A and B are shown apart, each in its own frame.
Chain A
């Protein structure tokens, strides 16, 4: 009944006009280590530049994770509370294979994708039989199952039980400590590729069906779409992306602990999505950045209990800024511009009093 008015394709329709923005951001991110090195006067692979590369690597990984979550929640309207299971399974699969199988990185990557497809299709087929809160509960329960299994002592030889996997071997060229800069570029490339894939999907006809399902599933079904198939596709795509983020996370941290499978991981994805803006691709990525930097700052200021503050911020956002940064911007862009225009009008008229028609614009 309540037709949501989430801002979605505002960005898309005007995208052509702002096509230059994305490449510029990417270029800036490429140049970032060197700029920081210049500013701080330290070599690019030590000290401050190295530290901030680390921060951004984490942001890139989280950004992909959050974006994959929003493909489900924001675009298809599937509220899953078990997204950590894909992220965590990706991380664990990476760790287990690198540690125990002796496969190369590329083979592991393919295997992670394969595992993620199998996992998300299975989970999807079961949980997509129900909707709304039932689905949220079902996915939460499945995620908890993985969380419990990861801690089970029976599988200690493989998963490391409650300690998790540590000292995952990665190729020397990608060592996150010694080859930080390389890792930085790889992570950035990873994020850009994932974004382009997601963008492609969202703008394609199936992507529009996903949005139609979110708006009114019965209607989409009536028009003749096999909504179950599309939803399964969304779950699978989102699951694979999350698993790849988990893959990167395992490489970056050189470990996979039960934490990556916990509810907190899902909540983090939710947080980043809500902060950035539901139903957009840029939003969750921006949210990941804000979350990571805010977390760093809050941790420095308030100590280890900083998630309490993040949690309160999250509640306030849900209550008062439900569309997040990007969504609110898209909704209020015109208001804001009008507001700015009103504010600077006196200035303009003062400055440009002699150019007739200047204030008309």
Chain B
């Protein structure tokens, strides 16, 4: 018992501080105010958790600190918002991506049939360099003049005002050639990729891969005539279904982006640790610029889906159970209404926390991940393809962040400040919890969320010390800045964080 206490001093001290603050709050504020501060803290904590858990898992397993994680969160918010409120943008860009990916699959298969090595190594290098350059050129040629702005400008938002879908999207006769060119570019890219790396480690895609590639291209072309009807259909279904769709889009896109990022950009840099962070920072920069290019610099508001937006008779819901039937926009908490969508975010965070915890504890892949956190080399020496697990974990972490972005969109809005903000809070959470610890990420996120909610309340209501005549009131920025001080404190006192292992 004593040993246990000594081992977990930092944890216990933290708990003590949290308890003391809670007690102080219950004295100072009415219970209903305290309750909504705590709920706000939990909401923020759930979002920060979705960022911090991915950061922590990725860092734990492959020692890569992903500075692009906030960008992925923001990308999730934009993509989710698009799927939710403006599906025509998605329907008009998705085929482009699918065609390229499908082409790349076919290209990799074709690459397997080429001779393994050309006579001179420089010829080999020159060939795949030429393939890359050529494919980039074809991509640029394929998307020349493709105007995304009118697609973005849907009714309620954006400066361009409403442009009807018929005017905004390209005719199939113009659009399908783009897809074919992109398929060609993909084939060239795939050919180039299949020739990267030493001969012994090249992996050739089987014919099933090529079949999937052909399938992707076929799907891309099949979407083209369906663009307008699909948009009409999507906008006619209930916002709840569109919201689920948005979450799925976030999940898949986040996972795909993460996997792509790991396998294409980070993998070559495992031997150059410092450059990995430089690279992720660059990816974050490029991703943010890409968002600006597509969606513009003005932000969007995303409507709260119907399951948490009802109002009128009987609202706010008297309790959580009745909310399940009346779907009010807010729920009564000790006499004060609290937005029910935020309760949903808390629930989502909880569900994901449990799901990932189960994955880590119970599944074989979870065992591999936990083992890899300690010694990924040894895992490999047991005959396990650790690189594939790396890609998977990177995809998982990115998917969590992107889903967090979708969930946050109706709450925090969809704007360019989102990425940097959650990234900062995610970092702080991870540092507090201890890098590489899943539980640590959860606890850290919760603490940061609470500190934010509490700090916001404190600066708004003002701080009045005994000798002051009037309370000092400050803007929420001060509360935001002060979470950084918490991190500095933790770094000073216990650099490994609350749950981190000592070096």
Contacts and interface: CB of A to CB of B under 8 A. Distances in A.
Given A134-B495, A142-B488, A319-B269, A154 B278 contact: no
Contacts of A126: 488, 491-492
Nearest to B266: A319
A154 B286 CA distance: 33
Contact of A148 (B65, B427, B481): B481
Contacts of A307: 285, 289
A168 interface: no
Given A142-B488, A315-B283, A322 B275 contact: yes
Nearest to B268: A319
Contacts of A153: 475, 477
A151 B477 contact: yes
B279 interface: yes
B252 to A, nearest CB: 24
Contacts of B265: 315, 319
Nearest to B473: A154
Interface string A270-283: 10001000000000
B289 A133 contact: no
Given A140-B427, A307-B285, A308-B286, A315 B274 contact: no
B271 interface: yes
A311 B495 contact: no
Nearest to A273: B278
B285 A311 contact: yes
Interface in A112-157: 126-127, 129-130, 132-134, 136-138, 140-142, 144-145, 148-149, 151-154
Best-surrounded residue of A130, A145, A270, A274 (most CB of chain B within 10 A): A145
A81 interface: yes
A284 to B, nearest CB: 14
Interface in B269-307: 269, 271-275, 277-279, 281-283, 285-286, 289-290, 292-293
B487 interface: yes
A104 B420 CA distance: 38
A81 B487 contact: no
Nearest to A123: B488
A355 interface: no
A361 interface: no
Contacts of B271: 2
A260 interface: no
Given A126-B488, A154-B475, A305 B293 contact: yes
B475 A137 contact: no
Given A126-B491, A145-B484, A308 B290 contact: yes
Contacts of B152: none
B424 interface: yes
Given A2-B271, A130-B491, A141 B279 contact: no
A30 interface: no
- How many interface residues does chain B have, given as a range? 35 or more
A270 B278 contact: yes
Interface residues of A, number: 40
B428 interface: yes
Interface of chain A: mostly helix, strand, loop or mixed: helix
Contact of B285 (A132, A267, A319): A267
Given A142-B484, A154-B475, A263 B420 contact: yes
Contacts of B292: 305, 308
Contacts of B268: 319
A312 interface: yes
A136 B277 contact: yes
B491 A314 contact: no
Contacts of A311: 282, 285-286, 289
B355 interface: no
Given A134-B431, A308-B293, A144 B420 contact: yes
Nearest to B475: A153
Nearest to B503: A131
A126 B491 CA distance: 8
Best-surrounded residue of A140, A148, A153, A154 (most CB of chain B within 10 A): A148
B353 interface: no
A264 B288 CA distance: 11
B59 interface: yes
B159 interface: no
B492 A129 contact: yes
Contacts of B59: 133
B289 A136 contact: no
Contacts of A136: 65, 67, 277
A152 B477 contact: yes
A136 B424 CA distance: 12
B478 interface: yes
A133 B424 contact: no
A35 interface: no
B474 interface: yes
A311 B265 CA distance: 14
Contact of A140 (B273, B282, B424, B481): B424
B481 A152 contact: yes
Given A136-B277, A154-B475, 16 more contacts: A126-B492, A129-B491, A133-B277, A137-B65, A138-B491, A142-B484, A267-B282, A307-B289, A308-B293, A311-B286, A311-B289, A315-B282, A318-B275, A318-B279, A318-B282, A319-B279
26 contacts: A77-B274, A81-B67, A81-B281, A126-B491, A127-B491, A129-B495, A130-B491, A134-B435, A134-B491, A136-B67, A137-B427, A141-B487, A142-B488, A153-B477, A267-B282, A270-B281, A274-B278, A305-B292, A305-B293, A307-B289, A308-B293, A311-B285, A318-B278, A318-B282, A319-B265, A322-B275
The 10 closest A-B pairs by CB, nearest first: A152-B477, A311-B286, A308-B289, A133-B65, A145-B484, A315-B282, A311-B285, A148-B481, A153-B475, A145-B481
